[in-house]
């Protein structure tokens, strides 16, 4: 089990959690009292995605996470390079459109 010191707090990270889960899909929902982040993996040709991890945050912690991610992306891009997000490819439509014969 690994231990880390961060902000004067001992943080334990056991071996199983340290392995992490790969995610290429995040689903975010919220209520008045919490934000729910579901992390899943989508595979090509598979119509079903399985949620691998769920994190539930208070609205205040969700905003702190947003700020921390923004700060870390700025640092990443300044040292490694700009993160490019490709435009989604249009899906070919088949058959007539609504209102067309």
Contact status, residue 59 vs residue 42, Cβ threshold 8 Å: no
Distance separating alpha carbons of residues 37 and 53, to the nearest angstrom: 8
Residue 2 pLDDT > 80, yes or no?
A: no
Three-state DSSP at 64 gives helix
Give the residue-averaged pLDDT of 46-72. 96
Phi, psi of 55 (to 5 degrees): -120, 130
**Taking the model in full, what pTM does it have?**
0.73
**Best CA proximity match to 36, nearest among 17, 53, 16, 19:** 53
């Amino acid at each position: 089990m690994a231990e880390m010191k961060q902000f004067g707090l001992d943080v334990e990270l056991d071996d199983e959690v340290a392995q992490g889960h790969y995610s290429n899909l995040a689903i975010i929902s919220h209520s008045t009292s919490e934000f729910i982040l579901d992390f899943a993996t989508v595979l090509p040709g598979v119509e079903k995605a399985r949620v691998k991890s769920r994190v539930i945050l208070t609205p205040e912690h969700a905003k702190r996470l947003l700020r921390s991610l923004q700060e870390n992306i700025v640092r990443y891009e300044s040292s490694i390079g700009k993160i490019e997000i490709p435009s989604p490819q249009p899906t070919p439509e088949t058959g007539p459109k609504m209102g067309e014969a």
